[in-house]
Amino acid sequence: MLVFLGILTYYVAPMAFIYKNYSLFFFILNFILILMILGLAFVSILLLPYIQVLFVKLFILIMRKDKNLYQVIRKNLQGHEARNTKTAMMFCIALSFLIFAGSTFELIGHMIISQLESTVGSDLYATSIASKLNYIDEGPLIQFLEEQKAKDGAVDSYSFATGDLNELLK
């Protein structure tokens, strides 16, 4: 399994990136991230009994009058160890999934915004949809944008793009 993950990480993922197969590249990254989350969840489950004992000792240290309950609590934890482990595992995996899903949605949101910014190029984008040869009159637009620029600085700068020359020549 480790050899498979090594090949996937060090050979397949870079090749997918070089050959611009981004869906495979991001699938591999997500797969590795999910495996890391599951591994951390299982490690935390292995540490669960030691953490429980630590909490019991801290509780007894703070609440000195309840030190007689130490043995009762320890026996209770040992008696319910299987159920506590299952519950902790479900909670840990559910929490890690929520964190993973939240970070993935955050990443997708930033990716969509970045893609729109690079495609459109500005916050405001206007185009003529009536006809390919029916272009927008720039005069009134320039006057309005200059007024807004001088008025409150809402417009920092602007530019205009031409239509496709092939469409004009047809």
Domain ranges in the chain are 2-121, 122-170
pLDDT at 1: 76
- pLDDT exceeds cutoff 70 at 147: yes
Q: Which residue has the tokens 């020359």?
A: 165
Amino acid 66: pLDDT: 83
Q: Residue 78: how many CB atoms within 10 A of its CB?
A: 11
- What is the rounded average pLDDT of the residues 107-116? 86
129: confidence class by pLDDT, cuts 50, 70, 90: low
| Cα–Cα distance, 86 to 82 (Å, whole number) | 6
At 133, the pLDDT band (50, 70, 90 cuts) reads low
Question: What is the DSSP secondary structure assignment for residue 26, as one 8-state letter?
Answer: H
Residue type, 44: S
pLDDT at 85: 86
- Angle (CA) 131-133-134 rounded to 5° is 65
- Residue 115: how many CA atoms within 13 Å on its side-chain side? 6
Tokens of 107: 């990443």
Average pLDDT of the segment spanning 70-76: 88
